[in-house]
Structure 1
């Protein structure tokens, strides 16, 4: 029996919309194959028997700095498939918190990776200007620089790695294969996606190079 594992990671608003649309398609296929479970799974498994038994497992993870968007707030109708609520479960999402960006900027010597692109002489004025009036956990205001700094602040990187590790374990559970194809979706023209996508890829490469995946 062969097995194919796939993890789709959506970054930022655009990436999370891609995850939502994929989850709709997976849900429709899951129901079409006769699944009657009341609880929609956080990982979809499909079995084929064409020239031998084959299993496909597909999971998703959404990463965004806007809390309401992660839980489908304000767009409830878009998170419905076949009359069922397909809102992301807790383990399917990671909230990128930006409330520590000022702490990072003011202690920039502790963040050598940030000091390369954030200049000390303009950091406080710049950050004050771009964060004024923004509510907590309501996105990065379409500013790539803010998104990138948010990723480097607090425990955001650790939370993302933990979220990915959870998804990988879910895909390989119950005797599954320890091989997973990881795809990342998002837009480089937005604040969260554009500011974090390349750094998230680099962090994942570093993490995966030291694991059994």
Structure 2
């Protein structure tokens, strides 16, 4: 479990996570430094920055792209399917918490 969670929402959020991960890699030559426990959650309705082979996530010949378990693709602004199948997102499942709390958000 991470001590820190960096959340990126939308294209700008994805670019911030990408820049942060590149900086971490430049400093430590690894994406998960031993002295920092960082988790990531990137939520977007566009696939633009989510591709595993997206070259913009590379630094010093290494990809720092997030794993699929840290990304949530939202299509059509509909959170219900994501929350209904949150077990398919093991990287974010602990951050969702009690599913019942989200009912107010989904009904709005």
Q: Shorter-chain TM-score category? A: 0.5 to 0.7
Q: 1:160 to 1:14 in 2, by over 3 A?
A: farther
TM-superposed deviation, 1:26: 1.3
Match of 1:165 in 2: 93
TM-superposed deviation, 1:71: 1.5
Q: 1:26 to 1:13 in 2, by over 3 A?
A: same
Counterpart CA distance in 1 for 2:33 and 2:46 is 29
Q: Does 1:9 align with 2:7?
A: yes
Q: Does 1:71 align with 2:59?
A: no
TM-superposed deviation, 1:19: 0.7
Match of 1:93 in 2: 71
Length, aligned pairs only? 97
* Kept in 2: contact 1:45–1:57 (CA 8 A): yes
Structure with the higher fraction of residues in helix conformation: 1
Query: Cα deviations across residues 158-187 of structure 1 (Å, max 9, x unaligned)?
Result: 456844225x6xxxxxxxxxxxxxxxxxxx
* Kept in 2: contact 1:15–1:62 (CA 8 A): yes
Counterpart CA distance in 2 for 1:17 and 1:160 is 24
* Kept in 2: contact 1:151–1:157 (CA 8 A): no
**TM-score when scaled to structure 1?**
0.38
Contiguous gaps of at least 5 residues in structure 1: 36-40, 48-55, 99-149, 169-199, 208-213
RMSD: 3.1
**TM-score when scaled to structure 2?**
0.68
Contiguous gaps of at least 5 residues in structure 2: 103-108
* Of 21, 24, 34, the match for 2:22: 24
Q: Which structure has the greater CA radius of gyration?
A: 1
SS in 2 for 1:157: helix
Q: Does 1:62 align with 2:42?
A: yes
Counterpart CA distance in 2 for 1:5 and 1:18 is 19
